[in-house]
A and B are shown apart, each in its own frame.
Chain A
Amino acid sequence: MPQGVEPQQPPQDPTGAAGVPPTSRRRFLAWLSRAFLGLWGLGAAGAIGAYLRPPEHGPRIAERIVRVGLLEDLRIGEARLVRHGVTPFYVVRLDAGRVVALSAVCTHVRCILGFDRERRALTCPCHDGRFDLAGQVLSGPPPRALPSYTVSVRAGEVFVQL
């Protein structure tokens, strides 16, 4: 800024031995310093811009509604374990239309349940607790029924609301 005193000098004139090169070097230096200071603004704008970007665009892990997949990929009588954050759950297709979602965490000591296809039950590998597909305790030590989640099928896709 303060070197505006010599704007008349033609830029890029390497012939002048004494007067011109310092001037152009000076101008270059001034330009460089200003660009250098401009980086602050650029950095701040970048950081704030990244911060302010609407968060819907990124994948949100704390989402409450989970997309499980296509309904036709789930076979009848088959269960799928969905690992979602701290709440893993099973999605079981009972028949053509009905799908249930049950927590996969045993209510006894929080073991992860397994699915017993022949008995159509969820069994706990730790202490043999068994749950039916309504979440009720069939046998074993679990003190409470399994929490179940609302399932909705929209356009052939299965969603579970946690």
Chain B
Amino acid sequence: MSDAPRVGGTPGGGDASGGGAGPGPRGDWVAWLERRLNLTETFSFLTHFGLVWTPVDTSRPVREVVREVASQPVPAYARWPRVLGLLAAILFGLEVVTGVLLAYYYRPTPEAAFESTRTIVRDLPFGWFIHQLHGWGAWLLVIVVAARLLRLFWDGLYRAPREVLWWSAVAMAWLVLQSDFTGRLLTWDSRSYWAAVRGMEVVFALPVVGPLLAFLLGGRVINDDVLIRFYALHMLVLPAGFAFFLYLTFATLRRVGLSPEAPMHRGAATTLRDHLYSMLILSVLLFGVLTTLAVLAPFRFQAAADPYSTPTGVRPPWYMLAPYAVIENGPGPSWLLGLLLLAVAFAVLLLPLWAPRAAGGRALGRMRLWGLCALAAWTALSVLGAFMERR
């Protein structure tokens, strides 16, 4: 998609197209290339990854097609509340770029993980910035994905025919949380190591799921085998899954739209060209916010992990505080509580099945009430988890 604005914004009438004319006075590289490649076909492939969905006549020159597409009306995705999905996509792109840069120096072995991270952060120019961007980007991504889930729930966008939209949103939230969890271990500092150990203790204690996960992760002990699998999950498997569900979201949006109940009011529709400018502005502002966070509130660099000494006050990341509170304080054995929480998490996927089919406002209101109760309970448990003493 990033090619689109440049191509779309390039001046020049239809006369430069067609393939017959020679390069213009400024060297018309599009025409030059079009004589050698079917650019239109490439462009029609690219539209799958964006918000454009029109049948493209691949025999027409690319400039005409692009101009036409760029002027087509699209919903204003850079406006609240639709912006959440766009933000998730932009942040994901940022995570990919910074992640690739970090992977150039990172070494996933227990001996070198901490050292290489420290080299990146301490000794390489801009290494600290890339690392902080990656960390704060992940933090924002978790928030954005969770907020998006709430907004979809609030507007009842899980009901038919938007089940796929809901499922992808839930799956993306899961994948983001998993990426965050696996990414935390990679720095191999004392806090991340012990957070992973404590987290895995709970997970491995679950019946059926625990042994299965232990098998997938290469053992019950957090060691070099587990580290390299976390690494592979973090940088290959989970991002690939996230990209897949991102694509699925676009695909289902093209078919069913985002919110037909609320008709497009003034300012809710725009052209693609306009939308792309909005997206650029949004990206620049987001980058500014992330830079500010990285400079003013950098993540503190911890000491190297020592498997033989547990630091005090190890808590799970903020989004896992509620399950932590339940498992530590709830009645019954921890594996049962863990299983229960897991069941609840999967039940969220099934929301479309027991949601009332009718679009009646009353049923939606009741669901909203339930949702509010659940959110309040979650917040209360998180606060409890943040302040309670470990048993």
> Complex: how many Å from CA A5 to CA B13?
10
On chain B, the residues within 8 Å of A55 by CB distance are 105, 119, 123-124
Q: Are A2 and B129 in contact (CB under 8 A)?
A: no
> Complex: how many Å from CA A58 to CA B122?
13
Stretch at the interface among A43-51, A79-87, A102-110: A43-51
Q: Given the known A-B contacts A1-B9, A1-B11, are A50 and B126 also in contact in the complex, defined by CB atoms under 8 Å?
A: yes
> Complex: how many Å from CA A31 to CA B109?
50
> Complex: how many Å from CA A62 to CA B119?
9
Q: Are B11 and A52 in contact (CB under 8 A)?
A: no
> Complex: how many Å from CA A51 to CA B104?
10
CB distance from A115 to the nearest CB of B (A): 32
Task: Give the nearest-CB partner of A52 in chain B.
Answer: B104
On chain B, the residues within 8 Å of A58 by CB distance are 123
Q: Given the known A-B contacts A51-B101, A62-B115, are A2 and B9 also in contact in the complex, defined by CB atoms under 8 Å?
A: yes
- B130's partner among A2, A5, A51, A53 (CB-CB below 8 A) is A51
Q: Are B125 and A51 in contact (CB under 8 A)?
A: yes
Q: Which of B11, B104, B105 has the most CB of A within 10 A?
A: B11
CB distance from A27 to the nearest CB of B (A): 13
- B124's partner among A5, A51, A61, A62 (CB-CB below 8 A) is A51
Instruction: Assess whether B338 is interfacial by the CB under 8 Å rule.
Output: no
Q: Are B126 and A47 in contact (CB under 8 A)?
A: yes
On chain A, the residues within 8 Å of B156 by CB distance are none
On chain B, the residues within 8 Å of A60 by CB distance are 123
Instruction: Assess whether A4 is interfacial by the CB under 8 Å rule.
Output: yes
The interface size of chain B toward A, counting residues with CB under 8 Å, comes to 16
Range, interface on chain A: 10 to 19
CB distance from A56 to the nearest CB of B (A): 12
Q: Give the A-binding residues of B (Cβ under 8 A).
A: 9-12, 101, 104-105, 115, 119, 123-127, 129-130
On chain A, the residues within 8 Å of B101 by CB distance are 48, 51-52
> Complex: how many Å from CA A4 to CA B24?
14
On chain B, the residues within 8 Å of A51 by CB distance are 101, 124-127, 130
Q: Are A1 and B10 in contact (CB under 8 A)?
A: yes
A-B contact pairs, 18 of them (CB 8 A): A1-B9, A1-B10, A2-B9, A2-B11, A5-B11, A47-B125, A47-B126, A48-B126, A50-B126, A51-B101, A51-B130, A53-B125, A55-B105, A55-B119, A55-B124, A58-B123, A61-B123, A62-B119
CB distance from A89 to the nearest CB of B (A): 21
> Complex: how many Å from CA A51 to CA B131?
11
CB distance from B285 to the nearest CB of A (A): 13
On chain B, the residues within 8 Å of A62 by CB distance are 115, 119
Additional A-B contact list (11), CB under 8 Å, known A55-B123, A62-B119: A1-B9, A2-B9, A5-B11, A47-B126, A47-B129, A48-B126, A51-B126, A52-B104, A55-B119, A58-B123, A61-B123
On chain A, the residues within 8 Å of B127 by CB distance are 51
> Complex: how many Å from CA A1 to CA B276?
15
Task: Give the nearest-CB partner of A5 in chain B.
Answer: B11
> Complex: how many Å from CA A47 to CA B104?
15
On chain A, the residues within 8 Å of B115 by CB distance are 62
In the A-B complex, the 3 residue pairs with the closest CB atoms: A4-B11, A50-B125, A47-B126
> Complex: how many Å from CA A51 to CA B105?
10
> Complex: how many Å from CA A60 to CA B124?
11
> Complex: how many Å from CA A53 to CA B105?
11
CB distance from B107 to the nearest CB of A (A): 13
> Complex: how many Å from CA A48 to CA B127?
9
> Complex: how many Å from CA A51 to CA B100?
12
> Complex: how many Å from CA A55 to CA B125?
10
A17-52, CB < 8 A from B: 47-48, 50-52
> Complex: how many Å from CA A45 to CA B391?
51
CB distance from B105 to the nearest CB of A (A): 8
> Complex: how many Å from CA A62 to CA B130?
22
Task: Give the nearest-CB partner of B105 in chain A.
Answer: A55
A57-84, CB < 8 A from B: 58, 60-62
> Complex: how many Å from CA A137 to CA B104?
46
Task: Give the nearest-CB partner of A60 in chain B.
Answer: B123
CB distance from B265 to the nearest CB of A (A): 28
On chain A, the residues within 8 Å of B126 by CB distance are 47-48, 50-51
> Complex: how many Å from CA A55 to CA B129?
17
CB distance from A135 to the nearest CB of B (A): 26
On chain B, the residues within 8 Å of A2 by CB distance are 9, 11
> Complex: how many Å from CA A58 to CA B115?
17
